[in-house]
Amino acid sequence: MFAMVLERCGAPLVPRRLPDPSPGPGQTLIEVTACAVCRTDLHVVDGELASPKLPLVPGHEIVGRVLASGPDVQGFAPGLRVGIPWLGWACGVCEHCRAGRENLCDQARFTGYQIDGGYADRVVADARFCFALPDAYDDLHAAPLLCAGLIGYRALAKAGDGKRLGLYGFGAAAHIVIQIARWQGRDVFAFTRGGDTVAQRFARELGAEWAGASEEMPPGPLDAAIIFAPAGYLVPLALRAVRKGGRVVCGGIHMSDIPSFPYADLWGEREIVSVANLTRADAEAFLRIAPQVPVRTEIERFALADANEALHALRTGALRGAAILVPPAR
């Protein structure tokens, strides 16, 4: 198979021809048709997440079709279209798993981090963590739903049901979340890197009531804010923007250190919470809702061999929506 491989953190991905994988018990072999590029991929490639499997095929927003399945797999006929997300395996027996919080499983393994992912034309996945995708989406437009959508949906649920919602960082996740929030009847306020008028205009096009720099205060206090940008300095800014009793949700798997801030910014029963991974229940719920909204994903297509260019575009904020890697035809 053809894959873009991370051999050393901090180095560019390397194109490689590797042996085709084979599915083991409980696994399915997928022909990858599209894989979205996520900011978590940057954290893995740049070495900001500790101890990835090396060498590693990154990528965890995978769309493809079943080629074959291993023993003990039911319901995955060849040709079935499925999506593969970040959470690639959970033990099923720990206290977190038994409580329906498999996203917190201490033994969990993640696609494109400890398990080879979708920057390839073939991938093997645990069938329990593969999902049927809504027919309303073609392969490329479905791919961002599998992390930007899923994590964004979990973050939105964590934010509560307040009407005035702030989104800090307007990339792939925020451009999906704003559509759900507007469908729910919320008012959305978008915060971007100062001077990023392109992202601000994009947010307004999607229904934002207001869009401005992250350092600005919105026109009136927010009920909740979600921080998608991996910048810890945004936490105190978001706390100052939410009302008493408001909540700030940190939606990323990695964030730079949060600077000290006055207790007065937290006082008034404001809260800071984080979002960790996703559950299969999140995926099932979100993939039912997305076509109802309907969520529309904005994408930019890249050849799989150009994965380093796609990562660079994400790193520099040059993308509108999500980058999608497309493997070459065999």
CA Rg value for the chain: 19
Q: Is residue 41 left, alpha or beta, with left meaning phi > 0 and alpha meaning psi from -120 to 50?
A: alpha
- Same domain? 142 vs 107: yes
Is the pTM of the predicted complex or chain greater than 0.85?
A: yes
Same-domain status, 143 and 288: yes
Cα dist. 172→36, 72, 103 in Å? 10, 36, 21
Place of tokens 């994009």: 202
User: Distance between alpha carbon 49 and the CA centroid of its chain, in Å?
Assistant: 15
Examine the domain organization and report whether 236 and 216 are in the same domain. Answer: yes
Same domain, 154 and 143: no
- How many distinct structural domains can be found in the chain? 2
Q: Mark whether 121 and 258 lie in a shared domain.
A: no
Contacts of residue 310, defined as CB under 8 A and 6 or more positions apart, other chains included, come to 37, 300, 302, 323, 325
Task: Identify the domain boundary among 230, 259, 274.
Answer: 274
The answer on 21 and 52 residing in a single domain is yes
Instruction: Indicate which CATH number applies to the domain containing 252.
Output: 3.40.50.720
Please name the helix (run of DSSP H) or strand (run of DSSP E) that holds residue 124, with its range, or none.
strand 122-126
Of 210, 259, 27, give the one whose Cα is nearest residue 126.
27
Contact 297, 321 (CB under 8 A): yes
Question: Looking at the structure, do residues 98 and 8 belong to the same domain, yes or no?
Answer: yes
* Residue 173 shares a structural domain with residue 310: no
Are both 223 and 238 inside the same structural domain? yes
Cis peptide before 12 (omega within 30 of 0): no
CATH code of residue 87: 3.90.180.10
Place of tokens 């072999």: 29
Cα torsion at 232, 163, 321, 16 (round to 10°)?
Answer: 60
Q: Per-residue pLDDT tens, the chain, 330 aa: give them.
A: 999 999 999 999 999 999 999 999 999 999 999 999 999 999 999 999 999 999 999 999 999 999 999 999 999 999 999 999 999 999 999 999 999 999 999 999 999 999 999 999 999 999 999 999 999 999 999 999 999 999 999 999 999 999 999 999 999 999 999 999 999 999 999 999 987 899 999 999 999 999 999 999 999 999 999 999 999 999 999 999 999 999 999 999 999 999 999 999 999 999 999 999 999 999 999 999 999 999 999 999 999 999 999 999 999 989 999 999 999 987
Tokens of 329: 């035809």
Q: Which residues contact 208 (CB under 8 A, 6 or more apart)?
A: 178, 188, 189, 190
Tell me: do 296 and 265 sit in the same domain: no
Domain range spanning residue 142?
Answer: 2-147+278-326
Q: Which of 316, 300, 328 is nearest to 37 (CA)?
A: 300
Shared domain check, 224 and 137? no
Q: Are residues 177 and 70 in the same domain?
A: no
